[in-house]
Structure 1
Amino acid sequence: MLQIHKQAEPEEVIAWKALENEDWQPSYANLAGAPRKALRKALVLEQGGVCCYCNRAIAGPLNAIEEGEFHIEHLQPQSIFPSLELSYQNLHASCFKSESVKGPKHCGPAKGNWFDGHLLLSPMQDLTERFKYLDDGTIEAMDNDEPARVMIVKLKLDSEKLNEARFDELVGVMTPEFIKTATRAEFEKVYRACFTRTNGLYKPFAVAIAQNLKTFLDRFP
Structure 2
Amino acid sequence: MITKGAEPRSLTEHRAQAHSNYDNYTQKDELRAALVSEQKGLCCYCTGRIRANSTSMKIEHWRCQSDHAELQLVYANLLGACLGGDGRSAAEQHCDTRKGNLDLKWNPADSAHMIETKVRYLFDGTIESNDVDFNSQLNEVLGLNIGFLRSNRKAALDSVLAWWRSTPNAKTKIPQQINSRVNGLEHQPFSPVAVWFMREKLAGTTK
Counterpart amino acid of residue 30 in structure 1: N
Alpha carbons 2:11, 2:73 under 8 Å: kept: no
1:134 aligns with 2:130: no
Task: Call closer, same or farther: CA 1:192–1:135 in 2, change over 3 Å.
Answer: farther
Q: Tell me, yes or no, if structure 1 residue 213 matches structure 2 residue 207.
A: no
Equivalent position of 1:204 in the other structure:
189
Per the TM alignment, residue 66 of structure 1 is displaced from its structure 2 partner at its CA by 4.1
Q: Which AA in structure 2 matches 1:166?
A: R
- Cα deviation for residue 149 of structure 1 reads 0.8
Give a deviation string over 1:115-174, Cα, whole Å, max 9, x none. Answer: 2xxx621112311121111122111113xx123212212111111121011112222333
- Name 2:92's counterpart in structure 1: 104
Give the conservation status (yes or no) of the 8 Å contact 1:58–1:68: no
Distance in 2 between residues matched to 1:129 and 1:99, nearest whole Å: 33
Q: Which residue in 2 is equivalent to 1:40?
A: 32
2:11 corresponds to: 13
CA separation of 1:180 and 1:129: change in aligned 2, threshold 3 A: same
AA at the equivalent of 1:106: H
The counterpart of 2:178, out of the listed 176, 180, 191, is: 191
| Offset at residue 68 of structure 1 (A) | 6.5
Q: Which has the larger radius of gyration?
A: 1
Q: Offset of 1:215 from its aligned partner?
A: 4.4
In the alignment, structure 2 segments of 5+ residues that lack a partner are: none
Deviation at residue 107 of structure 1 after TM alignment: 1.1
Matched residues in 2 for 1:149 and 1:108: separation? Answer: 17
- Gap runs ≥5 in structure 1: 60-64
| Structure 1 runs (4+) greater than 4 angstroms displaced | none
Q: TM-score, normalised by structure 1?
A: 0.78
Equivalent-residue separation in structure 1 for 2:159 and 2:88 (angstroms):
28
Aligned counterparts of 2:55 and 2:159: Cα–Cα separation in 1: 23
Q: Cα deviations across residues 86-134 of structure 1 (Å, max 9, x unaligned)? A: 1112111112152449x8211111111112xxx6211123111211111
Q: Supply the distance in 2 between the matched residues of 1:187 and 1:159 (Cα, whole angstroms).
A: 30
Number of the residue aligned with 1:58 = 50
Q: 1:108 to 1:181 in 2, by over 3 A?
A: same
Render the CA deviation track for 1:163-201: whole Å, top value 9, x for unaligned: 0111122223332x651333222333223333x222x12
Q: Which residue of 2 aligns with 1:31?
A: 25
Match of 1:148 in 2: 134
Q: Deviations over 1:2-21 (max 9, x none)?
A: x2222222112223344x35
1:169 aligns with 2:163: no
Is the 2:64–2:102 Cα contact (8 Å) retained in structure 1?
A: yes
Q: Does 1:122 align with 2:120?
A: no
Residues 126 and 137 of structure 1: CA distance in aligned 2, closer, same or farther (over 3 Å) = same
> Is the partner of 2:2 in helix, strand or coil?
coil
CA gap 1:166/1:27 in 2 versus in 1, 3 angstroms: same
The whole-number CA distance in structure 2 between the counterparts of 1:14 and 1:213 is 39
1:79 aligns with 2:77: no
Q: SS of the residue aligned with 2:36?
A: helix
Shift of 1:50: 1.0
How many residues get paired? 197
Normalised by the length of structure 2, the TM-score is: 0.83
SS in 2 for 1:30: coil
